[in-house]
Amino acid sequence: MSQRFDMEAVAPMGHKAMIGLKLYLANISLNHTQKELIKLRASQINGCAFCLDMHSKDALKYGETMQRIVLLNA
C-alpha cells in the first residue's frame, strides 16, 4: 500500500482550514453527533475517503442513523 500524501506539505492552506474547523467545533455547544455531521459534510466536500470513513463511524457511534448519514449531501 502506498503512503497517503502529507496534506500539510501539499496543501498548507487547506490543512490550516481543517485545523481551524476542528478548533471551532471543540468550543461550540453542539452535541457530538452534530459535530460529526459537520466534519462528515466537510469531508464530502473535500473528497477525503479516509475522513468520510472515520467521521461516519464516529457519527454512528454517537447515535446518528445510517439514513441521515447517507442523505447528508442532499
d(CA 43, CA 40): 5
The pLDDT of residue 26 is above 70: yes
Q: What is the pTM of this model?
A: 0.74
pLDDT of residue 55: 94
The C-alpha cell at 18 is: 481543517
CA distance 2 to 70: 28
The model's confidence at residue 48, banded by pLDDT at 50, 70 and 90, is confident
pLDDT at 47 over 90: no
What is the rounded distance in angstroms from the CA atom of residue 3 to the CA atom of residue 9?
A: 14
Query: Sign (positive/negative) of CA torsion 6, 9, 14, 20?
Result: positive
Length of the chain: 74
Of residues 33 and 50, the one with the higher pLDDT is: 33
